[in-house]
Chains A and B, each alone.
Chain A
Amino acid sequence: MIEQLKKLCSGLDVEYFDLRYESRHVEKVIMSKNEIMNCGSDTGDGFVLRILNKGALASVAFTKAEQAPLAIKKALENSEVLLLGMSEKKKIAAAPVVVDTVKAPVIEDPRQIPIGDKIDITRYYSELLFKQPKVANIEISYADIYRNKFFINSEGSELNEELLTTRLAGGIITQEGNLTQTVRFAFGGSNGFQKLRNRETEALEKAKIAADLLTADPVNAGTYRMILNPGMAGVFTHEAFGHFSEADIVRDLPALREKMKIGTKLGSDNLNIIDDATMFDQLGYYRYDDEGVAVRKTNLMTEGVLTARLHDRFTAAEMNEPISGHAIAEDYRYAPIVRMGNIFIKPDKYTLEELLSSMEDGLYIGDPMGGQTSGENFTFGANYGYRVKGGKIVGMIRDINIIGNLYKTLMNVWMIGNDFVLKESGGCGKGQTNIRSCYGGPHVLFRELSVGGK
């Protein structure tokens, strides 16, 4: 394949180019009410060409090899148009030339498992959960996604990397009268099918939460001391802070550049935030990004001070900062953009009990359910939570939407737990969907956060 890619680009004479070819095979089982809604496999493939011509960067995606000459022509045209409206020429940061082949790091390979077994495990969890009290429906889906990526660039890099994602995810819908509640769960990751086995206890816990939510009290709007569980703390880290660590977002919002200057003190002294896609065993694992740069562990915030950000080769050159290997494309239809790999708050030393007793009165917030940021302001839904009085959990709450300001909230981090949980199924949308975007962290206690309510 590498040879074919080289042939397609032969004669292309520009400052820099790269060409990616990728095939993606998905096998999936979707069930609702214990009935198969969709089951089967599909394969897609395609090419993405990027060229840097006289300082203008243009890309063309195409699906057939015979379209390569047309794609090259379109890319050149696009770059010529850009030259009419650009003020600064784009530069590409230096990166090592690499020739490498990376196989997916798999323990139990889903590609070796017959579809029948995949249906069985999906049905098993579906039926198990469906039997639980108050459950009106179980929406559940299994998928394994195998991507085989080939990459060449004009500097001589030649790469082939496989990524294999496995997941079983769903929603438990409970009902009483006109009221319905939904609780989501997801098991999976980057290293195989074994992640889906023996997870009954966790699944049943979620079903119990879904049933309990029917009689939980809607939360009262207001400002509280708040503990976020690892899932929710992870969403905060990813959505509110992480996206502002992505160099393309900072570049495109000049008003933020001042605020997000490296060396600025933005958080409390105990706050350390890291992106580490090199950690083995987690959902976001990869070796090379879609510009052929090896990903590295990046300390984004150290003791409350902004110390680095996530880059592709173009943003690194523009801001004169180190490359980090975070240029990621959803699949063969897209040119890469800057993405997080695996972002989290570094755990500290406190147990959950210590966090609860330090908080005394406040809210303990459970798993995330949707969220959005708008500039420095964020809104995150939470599936469930608890009222805490005198350090003790006293009652369940629902209809929780946390609203806050990034900068105030970073300064309001009070105590950080000693536990560490990463999410097992991703889906970060930033124009493209990144199903391997991983985040999580420890329990985190905040001095002040607000919830909306009725």
Chain B
Amino acid sequence: MEKLLKIASAVADQAEVYWIEQSKDKLSFTDGKADSADTSLSSGIALRLINKGKMGLAHTCNLLDPEKLVKQALLATENGTEANFELPHTTDLPVIESYSPEIESMSKQDLMQTGKELLSYIQSRVKGQVNLGFNYGTASSGLLNSKGTILSGKYSGFYAHAELVFAGSGSGLHAFKAGVGPQKLDYEMLDEMIELFRIAENQEIAPTKRMPVIFTPMSLHALLSRLETAINPQNIYNQISPLCGRLGEQIISNKISIYQDPHNAEISGASSYDSEGTPTQKLYFFENGIYKAYPTDLNYAAKLKVKPSGNAVRGSYGQLPAADLLNMMVPAGDKTLAEMISSIDEGIIVQSLMGAHSGNVLNGDFSVGVSTGFMIKNGKLVARLKDTMLSGNVYETLNKVVALEDKVLKMGGTWLPSMLIDEVSVSGK
């Protein structure tokens, strides 16, 4: 790695080496039977060069020939993106360990046993198709650059998932847990899923009108992803975001704050530096509904003439870093889910949506089908929804927030509460 950086630094104005070694394991059960146990071992090295104001990247799985990689990267700079920024010199950062050594020594035999126990717990209480899955892995990665930055870290993650599939369909109810170390699906979560599954035996089409809707954490992303697109610095730079030039304005309900906290070691992938080596920060994008900040990498920070926020993310080692939220958190509110449900005379609660990526996302429009959701009447869940759609525009919808749940669901790096929103346009067929 050091040798590669040395060769590269000699021929280019600036150089950066990023490397990653990963190991992933999976065990899954479909319809109550173990059906796959797989392993994936991978590694990658990416070399990014900046030369004569242009940027180029080359990468490989096996560093057999460092000179060749340097040549490829240099060639890529010739037609590369304009890059008018300096790589950072980063030292003395606090160590944040988003890593649990227990993942390293996990036994698939033990997980098989856990899986069988969960299956028999669910199957003894309800008749239906049960799927289960365990995914876990570890990664080491690091970053070196020609400014003298040398950083490295270890990460781990574990994801446990159970699903009860509705008869005659592919949709169903989910229970899952994700975190840095091993996770257990607790019986309370399973009981909740089983109870909903029983209610789901009744099906109903929602009436077509505006009504209160509870978005659970798993369905909330359909709304929040539109804000994520709006604060993407590329859309801001290109002046096609509806939030251009509106920093400091009240955009959504003052009940909602959206922030990232990469220094919280409980967050999967937490790190004190981003994938370009810029120090990361706890950052509010929306605070009490006021638009406070957008994420930037080095490139877009330079273009927009702001200080980089440390939000460069690499989709994979073969991709150039790009700005994104490091993780997404919405602080909890003050109502229990039960209180929210009992406050509704006629409304719905949605667990999962389909078509969340379709429609005019940049504009904030959404028009989504409910794949798993329930009708609420007189404060009680009465039936599973079928043939029901929700639509609207997030800049209107997120201004009609009535309450947030008093706890958040921790989904790896995404921590969200349920949200009760009034006057959402619901249409039943």
Distance of A182 Cα from B368 Cα, bound (Å): 18
Q: Which of A365-394 contact B (CB under 8 A)?
A: 369-381
Q: Knowing A221-B427, A370-B355, A403-B369 are in contact, say whether A377-B386 is a contact too (CB < 8 A).
A: yes
User: A59's closest neighbor in chain B, by CB?
Assistant: B38
- Asked whether, in the complex, the Cβ of B112 is within 8 Å of the Cβ of A81, the reply is yes
Partner of B429, one of A57, A175, A403: A403
- Asked whether, in the complex, the Cβ of A374 is within 8 Å of the Cβ of B109, the reply is no
Q: Which 7 A-B pairs have the closest CB atoms?
A: A381-B358, A375-B169, A370-B358, A85-B34, A374-B371, A40-B76, A375-B170
Q: A23 CB to closest chain B CB, in angstroms?
A: 10
Partner of A452, one of B44, B115, B369: B369
- Asked whether, in the complex, the Cβ of B358 is within 8 Å of the Cβ of A369, the reply is yes
Q: Could you say which residues of chain B place their CB within 8 Å of the CB of A119? A: 79
Sample 26 A-B pairs with CB under 8 A, ordered by A number. Answer: A36-B79, A40-B72, A40-B75, A42-B58, A43-B60, A61-B38, A63-B43, A63-B44, A78-B38, A82-B34, A85-B34, A85-B115, A85-B116, A137-B240, A175-B240, A180-B360, A252-B131, A255-B167, A333-B42, A372-B354, A374-B171, A380-B355, A381-B355, A399-B360, A403-B429, A453-B367
Partner of A255, one of B165, B354, B425: B165
Say yes or no for B378: interface residue by CB 8 A criterion. no
Q: Could you say which residues of chain A place their CB within 8 Å of the CB of B34? A: 81-82, 84-86
| Binary B-proximity of A16-44 (CB < 8 A = 1, otherwise 0) | 00000000000001001101111111111
User: B239's closest neighbor in chain A, by CB?
Assistant: A136
- Asked whether, in the complex, the Cβ of A45 is within 8 Å of the Cβ of B386, the reply is no
- Asked whether, in the complex, the Cβ of B112 is within 8 Å of the Cβ of A84, the reply is yes
- Asked whether, in the complex, the Cβ of B169 is within 8 Å of the Cβ of A39, the reply is no
Q: Could you say which residues of chain A place their CB within 8 Å of the CB of B81? A: 35-39
- Chain A count of residues within 8 A CB distance of the other chain: 84
Distance of A119 Cα from B298 Cα, bound (Å): 25
- Asked whether, in the complex, the Cβ of A377 is within 8 Å of the Cβ of B61, the reply is no
Q: B179 CB to closest chain A CB, in angstroms?
A: 22
Say yes or no for A306: interface residue by CB 8 A criterion. no
Distance of A43 Cα from B317 Cα, bound (Å): 12
User: A73's closest neighbor in chain B, by CB?
Assistant: B39
Say yes or no for B56: interface residue by CB 8 A criterion. yes
User: A115's closest neighbor in chain B, by CB?
Assistant: B79
Partner of B358, one of A81, A254, A379, A405: A379
Q: Could you say which residues of chain B place their CB within 8 Å of the CB of A74? A: 39, 41
Say yes or no for A335: interface residue by CB 8 A criterion. yes
Partner of B56, one of A33, A40, A86, A398: A40
**Stretch of A64-72, A186-194, A195-203 at the chain-chain interface:** A64-72
Say yes or no for B89: interface residue by CB 8 A criterion. no
- Asked whether, in the complex, the Cβ of B79 is within 8 Å of the Cβ of A39, the reply is yes
- Asked whether, in the complex, the Cβ of A42 is within 8 Å of the Cβ of B318, the reply is yes
User: A213's closest neighbor in chain B, by CB?
Assistant: B360
Q: Could you say which residues of chain B place their CB within 8 Å of the CB of A79? A: 37
Distance of A335 Cα from B406 Cα, bound (Å): 43
Partner of A371, one of B131, B358, B365: B358
Q: B134 CB to closest chain A CB, in angstroms?
A: 11
Say yes or no for A87: interface residue by CB 8 A criterion. yes
- Asked whether, in the complex, the Cβ of B38 is within 8 Å of the Cβ of A58, the reply is yes
Say yes or no for B271: interface residue by CB 8 A criterion. no
Distance of A273 Cα from B425 Cα, bound (Å): 36
User: B169's closest neighbor in chain A, by CB?
Assistant: A375
Q: Could you say which residues of chain B place their CB within 8 Å of the CB of A374? A: 169-171, 352, 354, 369, 371-372
| Binary A-proximity of B21-62 (CB < 8 A = 1, otherwise 0) | 000000101110111111111111000000000001111111
- Asked whether, in the complex, the Cβ of B359 is within 8 Å of the Cβ of A369, the reply is yes
Say yes or no for B363: interface residue by CB 8 A criterion. yes
- Asked whether, in the complex, the Cβ of A33 is within 8 Å of the Cβ of B360, the reply is no
Distance of A136 Cα from B242 Cα, bound (Å): 13
Q: Which of B348-405 contact A (CB under 8 A)?
A: 352, 354-360, 362-363, 365, 367-369, 371-372, 386-387, 389-392
Say yes or no for A77: interface residue by CB 8 A criterion. yes
- Asked whether, in the complex, the Cβ of A180 is within 8 Å of the Cβ of B371, the reply is no
Distance of A78 Cα from B84 Cα, bound (Å): 49
| Binary A-proximity of B409-429 (CB < 8 A = 1, otherwise 0) | 000000000000000010101
User: A56's closest neighbor in chain B, by CB?
Assistant: B37
- Asked whether, in the complex, the Cβ of A377 is within 8 Å of the Cβ of B387, the reply is yes
User: A171's closest neighbor in chain B, by CB?
Assistant: B362
Q: A69 CB to closest chain B CB, in angstroms?
A: 12
Q: Which of A176-234 contact B (CB under 8 A)?
A: 178-182, 221, 223
Which residues of B come within 8 Å of A, CB atoms? Answer: 27, 29-31, 33-44, 56-62, 72-73, 75-76, 79-82, 108-109, 112, 115-116, 129, 131, 165-171, 208, 234, 238-240, 242, 318, 320, 352, 354-360, 362-363, 365, 367-369, 371-372, 386-387, 389-392, 425, 427, 429
Distance of A249 Cα from B31 Cα, bound (Å): 12
Q: Knowing A85-B29, A253-B170, A381-B359 are in contact, say whether A178-B115 is a contact too (CB < 8 A).
A: no
- Asked whether, in the complex, the Cβ of A379 is within 8 Å of the Cβ of B171, the reply is no
Say yes or no for A454: interface residue by CB 8 A criterion. yes
> Which one of B56, B359, B365 has the greatest number of beta carbons of chain A within 10 Å?
B359
- Asked whether, in the complex, the Cβ of A453 is within 8 Å of the Cβ of B30, the reply is no
- Asked whether, in the complex, the Cβ of A452 is within 8 Å of the Cβ of B56, the reply is no
Q: Could you say which residues of chain A place their CB within 8 Å of the CB of B171? A: 374-375, 377
Say yes or no for A105: interface residue by CB 8 A criterion. no
- Asked whether, in the complex, the Cβ of A75 is within 8 Å of the Cβ of B39, the reply is yes
- Asked whether, in the complex, the Cβ of B61 is within 8 Å of the Cβ of A40, the reply is no
User: B389's closest neighbor in chain A, by CB?
Assistant: A452
- Asked whether, in the complex, the Cβ of B59 is within 8 Å of the Cβ of A254, the reply is no
Q: Knowing A60-B39, A62-B42, A403-B369 are in contact, say whether A255-B360 is a contact too (CB < 8 A).
A: no
Further pairs besides A64-B43, A255-B169: 14, Cβ < 8 Å: A41-B76, A44-B61, A45-B61, A82-B34, A85-B34, A86-B34, A119-B79, A136-B240, A252-B131, A374-B171, A381-B367, A401-B358, A401-B368, A450-B387
Q: Knowing A253-B129, A374-B170, A374-B354 are in contact, say whether A40-B62 is a contact too (CB < 8 A).
A: no
- Asked whether, in the complex, the Cβ of A179 is within 8 Å of the Cβ of B36, the reply is no
Partner of B362, one of A62, A180, A259, A450: A180
Partner of B40, one of A40, A60, A86, A401: A60
Say yes or no for A3: interface residue by CB 8 A criterion. no
- Asked whether, in the complex, the Cβ of A82 is within 8 Å of the Cβ of B37, the reply is yes
Say yes or no for A88: interface residue by CB 8 A criterion. yes
Distance of A451 Cα from B387 Cα, bound (Å): 11
Say yes or no for A426: interface residue by CB 8 A criterion. no
Say yes or no for A46: interface residue by CB 8 A criterion. yes
